[in-house]
């Protein structure tokens, strides 16, 4: 049975409640049935781009370029502000590369992310994206570059100060450029997650490792997962920037598994509860789709 009418009705009802740029991708992994809203429009990923980073990290590990068990020494110059715990820890800590990957995906640690990007190279991430036919997806900024642009700063102390008092550069490229930025489309995001789920990239073991790490994600509890039953597992990654509230993942239910990616961009971030507004929309759409899937 196709879910076109039911899903479209839910999406229209919820998205009409806000003024924003919205993209949605859904795929039933049993039947391959898909539903999209603005499938080929580019959206700012925020931290969802870390999914593409971990794929390239494992790609290089499988090629023998990188050993995931290698320990790297944390230095103060590595530290980035925003999400994560490493910025608050003493220099000299020696996590493994795999530890950093887990921090990047589970708590969206920005410092861990930038260490990995520096290690594997943005050019290699983007080359692999093209090889995977993700032609509308790019990784152009590290988290530090994003935050410096947002805060109109050139050093971490200024960035931290400006962001703490919500002194946001509204003209920042990272908020306004939908071409040369960390961007993807609903169609590309669904394809990425499907490739992982169906083990069509890397190796089955590597795909399983990445998915299991994503199941442990601790961010975005009020988004895709919020209204789902406790026994439903969600392997996902969230992304948040001023005016941007995203979540994308694989949802594992007793009846079937499916992919759901929801991008909400261009929310009015001078409206303080914009994150909660975006999260409510994501959570309600996710819950309604779950009910449609599990009652047909």
Instruction: Summarize pLDDT for 136-150 with one digit per residue, the tens.
Output: 999 999 999 999 999
Other beta carbons within 10 angstroms of residue 13's beta carbon come to 12
d(CA 189, CA 173): 22
Write the CATH number for 24.
3.40.710.10
Q: Which of 247, 244, 237 has the alpha carbon at shortest distance from 289?
A: 247
Q: What is the mean pLDDT of residues 276-288?
A: 97
221 or 3, which is more confident? 221
Question: Count of domains in the chain?
Answer: 1
Query: Is residue 61 within 8 Å of 223, Cβ to Cβ?
Result: no
294 or 189, which is more confident? 189
d(CA 69, CA 117): 17
Task: Give me the helices (H) in 140-222, please.
Answer: 143-151, 156-164, 173-176, 186-197, 204-215
Q: Which of 4-8, 26-30, 92-96, 134-138 has the lowest mean pLDDT?
A: 4-8
The contacts of residue 167 (CB under 8 Å, 6+ apart) are 151, 152, 161
d(CA 116, CA 226): 30
pLDDT at 159: 86
Q: What is the mean pLDDT of residues 176-181?
A: 97
Q: What is the DSSP letter of 78?
A: G
Distance, CA of 253 to chain centre = 21
d(CA 132, CA 101): 21
d(CA 164, CA 158): 10
Q: What is the mean pLDDT of residues 154-168?
A: 84
In which domain, by residue range, is 160 found?
A: 4-294
pLDDT at 1 over 70: no
List of E strands, 101-216? 183-184
Mean pLDDT score of the chain:
95
pLDDT at 3: 77
Q: What is the mean pLDDT of residues 272-286?
A: 96
pLDDT at 296 over 60: no
C-alpha distance from residue 19 to each of 23, 183, 260, 264 (Å): 13, 20, 21, 10
Q: How far apart are the first and last CA of the chain?
A: 8
Query: Is residue 124 within 8 Å of 60, Cβ to Cβ?
Result: yes
Q: What is the DSSP letter of 289?
A: H
């Amino acid at each position: 049975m196709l879910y076109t009418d039911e899903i479209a009705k839910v999406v229209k009802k919820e998205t009409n409640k806000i003024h924003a740029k919205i993209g949605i991708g859904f795929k039933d992994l049993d039947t391959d049935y898909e539903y999209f809203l603005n499938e080929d429009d580019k959206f700012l990923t925020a931290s969802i781009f870390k999914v593409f980073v971990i794929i390239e990290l494992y790609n290089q590990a499988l090629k023998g370029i990188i050993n995931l068990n290698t320990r790297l020494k944390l230095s103060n110059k590595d530290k980035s502000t925003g999400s994560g715990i490493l910025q608050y820890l003493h220099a000299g800590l020696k996590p493994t590369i795999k530890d950093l990957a887990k921090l990047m995906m589970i708590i969206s640690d920005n410092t861990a992310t930038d260490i990995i990007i520096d290690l594997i190279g943005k050019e290699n991430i983007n080359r692999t994206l093209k090889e995977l036919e993700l032609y509308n997806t790019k990784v152009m900024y590290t988290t530090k570059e994003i935050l410096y642009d947002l805060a109109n700063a050139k050093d971490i102390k200024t960035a931290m100060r400006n962001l703490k008092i919500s002194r946001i550069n509204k003209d920042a490229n990272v908020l306004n450029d939908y071409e040369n930025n960390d961007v993807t489309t609903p169609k590309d995001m669904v394809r990425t997650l499907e490739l992982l789920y169906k083990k069509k990239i890397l190796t089955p073991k590597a795909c399983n490792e990445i998915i299991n790490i994503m199941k442990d994600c601790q961010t975005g509890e009020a988004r895709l997962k919020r209204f789902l039953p406790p026994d439903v597992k969600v392997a996902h990654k969230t992304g948040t920037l001023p005016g941007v509230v995203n979540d994308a993942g694989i949802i594992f239910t007793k009846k079937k598994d499916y992919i759901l990616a929801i991008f909400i961009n261009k929310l009015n971030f001078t409206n303080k509860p914009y994150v909660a507004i975006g999260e409510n929309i994501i959570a309600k759409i996710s819950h309604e789709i779950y009910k449609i899937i599990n009652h047909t």
